[in-house]
Amino acid sequence: MPNNITSNPEQKDQQKSKLSKKKKFIILIIVILSVIILNRLFDRRPFRFEDFSSQEEAQNYFDKHYPFGSRGNTLIIDLQEAGAQCAIISKSDNINFNTKQPFDRMVSCDYFTGWFSKDPLVNNVVAVFIDENSQIKEIHAVRHYGWK
């Protein structure tokens, strides 16, 4: 009989410990999901590269929302606000581009998705060809999988 009495409090402590671990795990999951949901709700970027499931979808988005002849500066600002890092390459840099339209400069923007995105570790590259009036001549969206 004494053995049962002493083992009974130990069993209760073990049960409490298991229950406590479950509660902590559930609370952790709720906190993580809340942060993800709140992050998405308050995300004020013009678009998210993570939402594009393919290169064609990205290209169609840019062609629809930034048609040829529209202001190139608007697209570049939106790309930067979406998190892309952009670099201007002038025509005089002697780089051979196969473009259909003549252009004055090209802006190349890179966005690398993180580990926790829907399609992790994708390098999104958007090349914007602009004429001397800052109008879009061509847009090319490309996705590369893997590290930079």
- Chunked mean pLDDT (size 10), the chain, 148 residues: 55 69 88 83 84 90 94 94 90 65 86 79 91 91 77
Q: What are phi and psi of 72, to 5 degrees?
A: -70, -30
Helix, strand and coil in the chain, % to nearest 5 = 45, 25, 30
Q: What are phi and psi of 125, to 5 degrees?
A: -120, 130
- By C-alpha distance, which of 83, 82, 79 is closest to 127? 79
User: Could you tell me if 71 and 134 are in contact, meaning their C-beta atoms sit under 8 angstroms apart?
Assistant: yes
Q: Quick check: pTM over 0.85?
A: no
pLDDT at 20: 82
Q: In a 10 Å sphere around its CB, with 0-12 CB exposed, 13-18 middle and 19+ buried, how is residue 61 labelled?
A: middle
pLDDT at 141: 93
Starting at the earlier edge strand, list the strands of the sheet with 105-112. 85-90, 105-112, 122-130, 136-145
pLDDT at 97: 65
